[in-house]
Amino acid sequence: MSKPKLKALTINRPWCKGCGICVAFCPAKVLELDHEEKAVAVRIEDCIACSLCALRCPDLAIEVEIAPEDNEIAPPAQKRILIQNRGGSRS
């Protein structure tokens, strides 16, 4: 079985409360908190698609989609970074 490949990493910004758990425990240091204390994927090309950020997120604000195994490896530039903004900002 090959290693999982990332299809998309979605951060639901209004749900994120900026606790920093995803940032601290990302094994590839993909995530950071921005100036509004919201998680953002700043080094998405390093993502190893382990999904731990999504599983640990207490705000259920992160979704990691894994590419189907038989797909060709997408070059890093084609990985999508989605920032959803459902319901507007809370600030």
Partner 1 sequence: MSIHKYLRERFFPHIWCAGCGHGTVLNGLIRAIESLGLSRNEIVMVSGIGCSSRITGYLDFHTLHTLHGRALAFATGIKLSKPELNVIVPMGDGDALAIGGNHFIHAARRNIAMTALVMNNRIYGMTGGQFSPLSGCGMTATTAPYANIDPDFDVAALATAAGASFVARTTTFHVKEMIDLIRQAILHDGFSVVEILSQCPTYFGRKNKMGGAVEMLNWYKERTTPLGSKAKQNDPSLIERGIFMQVDKPEYCSQYEKILQKAQSANSQTKE
List interacting residues with partner 1 (CB under 8 A).
14-21, 24-25, 52, 54-61, 63, 90
Task: Provide the minimum distance between the beta carbon of 77 and partner 1 in the complex, in angstroms, as a whole number.
Answer: 25
Say whether 54 sits in a helix, a strand or coil. Answer: helix
Nearest to partner 1 of 15, 32 (CB atom): 15
Task: Provide the minimum distance between the beta carbon of 37 and partner 1 in the complex, in angstroms, as a whole number.
Answer: 9
Task: Provide the minimum distance between the beta carbon of 74 and partner 1 in the complex, in angstroms, as a whole number.
Answer: 19
Give me the torsion for CA of 50, 51, 53, 59, rounded to 10°.
-170
Cα–Cα distance, 44 to 73 (Å, whole number): 15
